[in-house]
Structure 1
Amino acid sequence: MSPSTAHQFTANILIVDDQDAKRMALAAALEPLGHNVVLASSGREALRLLLQDEYAVILLDVRMPDMDGFETASFIRSRQQTELTPIIFVTAHDRAEADMLGGYSLGAVDFIFSPVRAEVLRAKASVFVELHLKTLTVQSHERRLRELEAREAQEIQERLRHEREQERRQAQQEMRKLSSALEQTADPVFITSRDGTIEYVNPAFETVTGYSRAEALGQRPNLLNSGTHASTLFQDMWETLLRGEAYRSEVVNRRKNRTLYYEEKTVTPIKDERGVITHFVSTGKDVTERKRIEAELLALNTLLEERVQQRTAELEEVNAELEAFAYSISHDLRTPLRHIASFADLLQRDTEQLLPVKAAKHLGIIQDSARRMDWLINDLLEFARTGRQDLNFHPVPLENLVQEVIRHLQAEDGGSSVQWNVHSLPVLYGDLPALRQVLTNLLSNAMKYSRDRVQPRIEIWGTTGVDEQIIHVRDNGVGFDMAYSHKLFGVFQRLHSPAAFEGSGIGLANVKRIVLRHGGRVWAESHENQGATFSFALPQRHALIQVVDTS
């Protein structure tokens, strides 16, 4: 601690002497110290002054009438406030030894002998003054520190109080939210004590159960027991809850009016800060309407299954009839047709060069019509078989299959001059014979409708769509008017005259039926005299649902 810090205080110095001259001399000697010098003419006056103020040092004359210095010192030391105040006794040289012995026994810190030397007095007094000032400074710092600590403690206390107040308000707000949520929720909620006594129910509980709050409070949850559940259900519930776990179940409850209702119930144990279960909260959801709808759906599904079985039986009967019809076409209709064709051929050979030109023309029309009728019957039977045959799905490398179909078509056409352009093709998942028929129909159609071109060109390529593989077949043939594209894939639908292009109009219908049974789709795009592009897409997956074409 620096002197400048200590000297910010002024010390009191008490001079006690019954002789005015000696008091004034001592005061004059101490005046240069710049502190407050207080004079007392007797020991009693000194004691009175000590009761009023605090002193850095006391200069006490040993020899005084009435109450000498030793008696005064004894009283000074007897008081707790002054027991440590430094006392310098002033005595004569001739009594130094006796006075010093008594003075030190009374706690004297030093002695000054008369006549007093001013510089010695100042030196001795200044030591105790300086010590006193430092003590005052330390005490001041301690008081300041205590004040700061008290202020800081008060601020902390105030902040904590404010935080607690905020937390209390937030807790109250959360409680209001929770209370409002419980009161306004559409689902029934009730809270019980640990022994199962109902302590709270929300308005939804009253609405669903029919029991008022007054009727429910103090009761137990078996108030709602429908009697339809085994006792083991409630035993399992309590065992689960007492383990501290939530219990969930669907139960049947009974309302106040004795009607039953279904409820999805969740019961949750509530624990205190020690982890001890104190309450249970039950939340439910009335699912009676949903159960009614489920029962109706179950009954409807049962009815639909019966109808499906009935419809399946009817379809099997119709299929049997169709098979009988196909058999009739194959045998009963083809027999007279063969007779017509055979006898027409015999008639032509027998009357060659004998019939008039007009009659020979009519005979030729009969022969052509018989052959065309035979083609139609064959194609119709093939179309019927396409819808009935089972499909066996396997990976089919399409590029190999396309090359196989091209070689077959070229052999039948006697080495056609078609320019084939086959790009990289994917592996499809489908029935090999059925896909062979699709490609045969599409490629033969492309050859047929482009054969009048100087250089027929047919291009085959594949693309990848969203979850599907797409195959395209493009030719540079006569094309067709897109206004009639909806007729392309119908049975016996043709966009060109039979005289211009042969065919029965069943090939593309077969293509559509096969592709649909693979779960795919088929379409075509064209402009007249600018060729046509036929496309079909099959799903990219390894488990396909066979789609039966009922058109």
Structure 2
Amino acid sequence: MTAGDQTDTLPLANVLIVDDQDAKRLALAAALEGLGQNVVLASSGREALRLLLGQEFAVILLDVRMPGMDGFETAALIRSRPQTETTPIIFVTAHDRAEADMLGGYSLGAVDFIFSPVQAEVLRAKVGVFVDLHLKTLTVQAHERRLRELEARAAQAAQDRLRREGERERRAAQREMRKLSSAVEQAADPIFITDRAGRFEYVNPAFEAMTGYARAEVLGQHVSLLWPDDEVVARMEAVWVGLLQGEPYRGEVRHRRRDGSFYHKEKTLTPIRDERGRITHVVSTGRDISDRKRIEAQLVALNASLEVRVQERTAQLEDVNTELEAFAHSISHDLRTPLRHVASFADLLRRDVETHGLPPAVVRRVGIIQDSARRMDHLISGLLEFARTGRQNLRFQPVPLAAVVDEVVGQLAHEEGGRPVDWVVGELPVVHGDLTALRQVVTNLLSNALKYSRPRERIRIEVWGETRGGEQVVHVRDNGVGFNMAYQDKLFGVFQRLHSPDAFEGSGIGLSNVKRIVARHGGRVWAEGREGEGATFSFSLPCPPGGGEAGAAVPEAERVG
């Protein structure tokens, strides 16, 4: 890049010509006009030094021989100033003094020499080199200044951005702090903060309301102010040791209010660390559980009272059971003995009547006595069976109802003496219960259906099961005489009958036993029917917990006997 290339972007370079002779100064200036730079003239060394104080020069053309202060003296002063110690100096001297002057000039830091008479082309070439160097230096300095300005602007922009971000974060933090502070202040549960030594530094209004202490009363006080006795003191001191080791605490603590009353608190103590990880504070949060503790104490007392009452009631029930056992024994032995006598003598009397040929009315009366005795015996047997049903222990296990129904159907078919009965058996579940008791339920329901269907020319009895609403339900439907739904509440009562004993045999105990057994299994019984159109008796048992084998359905099968 030449000096002329810099005129559009950089200021003109200053070239200083120092010579005491006007003609030589002007000649040198004329020779440098072609460079297009700013040429400054000085007639003495002192004037040159004055000019150097106010301007920066690309190169100095300095005459060696000048009166008063020669070029060497001037060069020495120029080099002594930090501002000009690197400014290039070209000495102008005569040929005859070249060797002596060059020795002294180079020792003073001269960069070159020009000999008189001066050749314009040589002068311009030498000065042009230093002008170009100066302009390039200015360019580099300008670039450096620009770079520093850009760096400064970028740094300022980054600083401004960081300041804005910091301000936003500070405002956000302030908002969060205000929100947290408001939440803590308005919290319904008591909150307090202590230093690591356990001295109160903050309490919220809920703390004041619960403890009765005003904020000003507790700030600076130790938290043991709330500990009611030595036991709590020892316990909380151990807790505090753990807190200072970074271990949070959660538990129930009994505290003391300002008025001396006590309250129970479910609380959490959490150690707070600073940016260096050092535990500096402890924050306590919790809630009043005094009502719950009071209720728990009442429940404990109530349970103790109930335990006593249960024991008393158990003793009473044992007495009642003992009395029932005695009553059953009395029925079995004391009542049946005279009944057997009545039946035996009635049989003897009937034989005498048949032997002596007494009137038919007497025969009929003797038959009534015999039937009544048999019916009384059946009633006693049913009553004993009903009592045993309520006392027997149940052994729960998976019970396949399909197999039970098959067994009972076979027994009943044998008892019917070959009379055709259509047994229609659908899918039946495997239930969870006592095998013996459930066999009795199935037997009573199927025999009941068979008994009340005997007036039909063709008997049809259906049995099937289903699972619904967490229950396993079994249905038994017959095409018998049915019943009036208005009296369905009497079906499962003890000794309750909807038909006369002359029409259908039985003691009225069977369905009562069904209801009692199913109830002991946690189930229920019900019936639906219409007079002359048959009836459907149903019972349900709870589904076994977890499913498993109990509850599996048996494939459907239809049997016609």
Measured against the shorter chain, the TM-score band is: 0.7 to 0.9
Does 1:139 pair with 2:141? yes
Query: 1:4 and 1:420 mapped to 2: Cα distance?
Result: 127
The answer as to whether partners of 2:44 and 2:66 remain within 8 angstroms in 1 is yes
Does 1:290 pair with 2:292? yes
Residues 1:455 and 1:279: Cα distance change in structure 2 (over 3 Å):
same
What residue ranges of structure 1 are gaps of 5+ in the alignment? 544-551
What residue ranges of structure 2 are gaps of 5+ in the alignment? 548-561
The answer as to whether partners of 1:15 and 1:27 remain within 8 angstroms in 2 is no
The answer as to whether partners of 2:4 and 2:36 remain within 8 angstroms in 1 is no
**TM-score normalised by structure 1 residue count:** 0.82
Does 1:59 pair with 2:61? yes
Query: 2:34 and 2:527 mapped to 1: Cα distance?
Result: 126
**TM-score normalised by structure 2 residue count:** 0.81
Residues 1:504 and 1:77: Cα distance change in structure 2 (over 3 Å):
same
SS, match of residue 231 in structure 2: coil
The equivalent residue for 1:491 is 494
**Letter of the aligned partner of 1:379 in structure 2?**
G
Does 1:532 pair with 2:536? yes
Aligned-residue Cα RMSD (Å) equals: 3.9
Shift of 1:428: 2.9
Does 1:506 pair with 2:506? no
The answer as to whether partners of 1:15 and 1:26 remain within 8 angstroms in 2 is no
The equivalent residue for 1:549 is none
The equivalent residue for 1:9 is 10
Query: 2:193 and 2:165 mapped to 1: Cα distance?
Result: 31
Q: How many residues align?
A: 543
Does 1:433 pair with 2:436? yes
Shift of 1:438: 1.4
Mapping for residues 471-482 of structure 1, pairs under 5 Å: 471-475=474-478
The equivalent residue for 2:90 is 88
Shift of 1:305: 2.1
**Letter of the aligned partner of 2:536 in structure 1?**
A
Question: Per-residue CA shift, 1:123-164, capped at 9, x if unaligned?
Answer: 333332222222222212221222222222223333333344
Query: 2:395 and 2:3 mapped to 1: Cα distance?
Result: 112
**Letter of the aligned partner of 1:132 in structure 2?**
H
Which of the pair has the greater relative contact order for Cα pairs under 8 Å at 6+ separation? 2
The answer as to whether partners of 2:353 and 2:362 remain within 8 angstroms in 1 is no
The answer as to whether partners of 1:515 and 1:538 remain within 8 angstroms in 2 is no
Shift of 1:384: 1.9
Shift of 1:333: 4.4
Residues 1:361 and 1:58: Cα distance change in structure 2 (over 3 Å):
farther
The equivalent residue for 2:557 is none
Query: 1:363 and 1:63 mapped to 2: Cα distance?
Result: 183
The equivalent residue for 1:122 is 124
Query: 1:478 and 1:317 mapped to 2: Cα distance?
Result: 44
Deviation larger for 77-86 or 104-113: 104-113
The answer as to whether partners of 2:521 and 2:541 remain within 8 angstroms in 1 is no
Shift of 1:524: 4.5
Deviation larger for 342-351 or 303-312: 342-351
Report % sequence identity.
68
Residues 1:2 and 1:53: Cα distance change in structure 2 (over 3 Å):
closer
Mapping for residues 183-262 of structure 1, pairs under 5 Å: 183-227=185-229, 229=231, 232-233=234-235, 235-248=237-250, 250-262=252-264
Question: Per-residue CA shift, 1:371-416, capped at 9, x if unaligned?
Answer: 4444333323222211111112233333333322222222222235
Query: 1:45 and 1:2 mapped to 2: Cα distance?
Result: 30
Query: 2:334 and 2:371 mapped to 1: Cα distance?
Result: 20
SS, match of residue 84 in structure 1: coil
**Letter of the aligned partner of 2:46 in structure 1?**
R
Query: 1:405 and 1:6 mapped to 2: Cα distance?
Result: 124
Mapping for residues 413-432 of structure 1, pairs under 5 Å: 413-423=416-426, 425-432=428-435
Question: Per-residue CA shift, 1:208-248, capped at 9, x if unaligned?
Answer: 33343444344434444433637643553454344343445
**Letter of the aligned partner of 2:10 in structure 1?**
F
Mapping for residues 38-437 of structure 1, pairs under 5 Å: 38-227=40-229, 229=231, 232-233=234-235, 235-248=237-250, 250-283=252-285, 285-335=287-337, 337-338=339-340, 351=353, 368-423=371-426, 425-437=428-440
Query: 1:119 and 1:447 mapped to 2: Cα distance?
Result: 147
The answer as to whether partners of 1:481 and 1:526 remain within 8 angstroms in 2 is yes
Q: What stretches of structure 1 move > 6 A for 4+ residues in a row?
A: 1-5, 353-363
The answer as to whether partners of 2:475 and 2:538 remain within 8 angstroms in 1 is yes
Query: 2:472 and 2:40 mapped to 1: Cα distance?
Result: 118
